[in-house]
Amino acid sequence: MDMEEPLLRNEVSNIIPKRQNSVNFMRCDFFSELPSKVGYKDVVHEYQQTQPEGESTQPPSKLEIEMWCRFSGTKNDKISKFQFFISSISEILEVQYFGCCYNPSLKTILKVLDYPFDLDTYEGSIEIVEAKELTIIPKLILQNELSVVLQKKNQIPPRNLDLYPKLAKDRVVIVLYVHNRPQYLQVVIDSLSRVEAISETLLIVSHDGYFEEMNKIVEGIKFCQVKQIFAPYSPHIFTNKFPGVSPNDCKDKDDPVEKHCEGTPDQYGNHRSPKIVSLKHHWWWMMNTVWDGLEETRHHSGHVLFIEEDHFIYPNAYRNMQLLADLKSKKCPDCYAANLAPSEVKSRGEGWESLVAERMGNVGYAFNQTVWRKIHKKAAGFCSFDDYNWDITMWSTVYPSFGSPVYTLRGSRTSAVHFGKCGLHQGHKRNLACMDNGGVNIVVADIDKVANIKPDWEVRKYEHQAGYQAGFKGWGGWGDVRDRELCMEFAKMYV
């Protein structure tokens, strides 16, 4: 865009109709009528009738449907007004950008204008804003000083480059995501320090907020290259506004109209809890940042292994994961990922002389860019599913949308153990207290100190396993429009 951009936006703002607060608009609203509902499908069908022949089969974006919903009247009236709207904007763009006879679609127009809109619901209400107000960061949050500092810290190169100047070409990058359980983190770091070949790779530690004791533990790592990243929009660093606790936020089962408070309840009538929603926000921000944002990893063609601050890692874990990553495409074409541990967290494995293909677990899982691209395309489903758990969201809506069963490949003996008694999730009763001194007593057998996976092993596949799957409606906690919008903004940070 050039210096005339504000003028162009002013011209466009005179053409775009104001949002209609009508029944017709309400049936377009993504949160009132999901795409699976008849009302939404009717609106999509109406909109597609405005498109040139040959383009009507393309599914419109939520942004396009939002614009269509701004036109009132009968269907024919709306079509007439909409086509006039497209024609008017096209004339502006012809003069300033494309020359004679250009006939762009609405999607093209919005792209050319660089989406100069402030979205106050899920790709929702559109208001023209000045260029100086536009940013590539989530639009509904004004960063505080700590948020800005943390975002700058994320650009710092890895430490220990002097000790480990080169990384192995076949490296599996390790990402450890943490919150604020220093006694757990120390156990995990100690276990990583004993992992064979750990010095060959990069360890990224992703923090949900900033906690000095956690930071100091990571700064003490000397066994490999290590990079710290900090979620700059974590609820834990915003003490008096969204995504933290806002003074006017609805609480528990408050009625927003009666209490004059802000918030959208979940499917069970409960309003958001910042400490709870931070779990899903951090995971999604981390994934987008690791795969698409960091210079160290965005071009990485291999696998990335994800572990948490309460996962004890066996000495053979890295070598086993390298083997699994290599064997996955050869032995299990249906496998999207590789795991260090069984999906049943209490299991230590079967002890067979074979590989195992099963549903994807959440302890020590690894996948590559190809799989990430498939996940990223499902951002709308991930961000709109009413469950504050990232893993349950993946099992219940993202994986089923791939169209075929999602398997992961693992060995028949575990190489990682979930040891935390006080999990981040804390079950589904939010007021449960948990006391844990962080004591861990995990005995590592000699067989688990070296790689114990054989390339010539066959694969045994578990089919029709129990667990969360398509049709589960979620545990709630993720009903607030602001959380869903922030989630979608994370998906757009780097693309």
**Known binding-site residue numbers for substrate:** 208
Count the neighbouring beta carbons within 10 Å of the beta carbon of residue 73.
12
Burial of 290 from C-beta contacts in 10 A (0-12 / 13-18 / 19+): buried
Q: Which residues contact 145 (CB under 8 A, 6 or more apart)?
A: none
Going through 376-489 in order, the beta strands assigned E by DSSP cover 407-410, 416-418, 459-461
What is each CA distance from 5 to 99, 132, 275, in whole angstroms? 17, 11, 41
Token pair in block for residue 267: 């499917």
What sign does the CA torsion over 71, 74, 77, 78 have? positive
Q: Quick one: which of 392, 405, 398 has its CA closest to 461?
A: 405
> In the beta sheet, which residues pair with residue 305?
174, 366
Structure-block tokens of residue 314: 């066996």
- Annotated binding-site residue numbers for Mn(2+): 310, 418
Respond yes or no on whether the N-terminal peptide bond of residue 52 is cis (omega within 30° of 0). no
DSSP state of 444: P
Q: How buried is 188 (Cβ within 10 angstroms: 0-12 exposed, 13-18 middle, 19+ buried)?
A: buried
Q: Give the SS3 label for residue 226.
A: strand
Q: Is the dihedral of CA 31, 37, 38, 44 positive or negative?
A: positive
The SS3 call for residue 250 is coil
Q: Would you give the DSSP letter of residue 395? A: I
What Rg value do the Cα atoms of the chain yield, rounded? 25
Q: What beta strand segments (E) does 208-330 contain? A: 225-230, 304-308, 311-313
CA distance 207 to 213: 12
Residues 6+ away with beta carbon under 8 Å from 54: none
The 10 Å Cβ neighbour count of residue 291 is 21
φ, ψ of residue 278 to 5 degrees: the values are: -60, -25
Residue 469, both tokens: 């799957």
Residue numbering of the annotated binding site: 208, 310, 418
Whole-angstrom distance, CA of residue 166 vs CA of residue 147: 32
Contacts with 344 (C-beta within 8 Å, 6 or more apart), sequence order: 361
- Locate all alpha helices (DSSP H) within 220-290, ordered by sequence: 256-259, 274-288
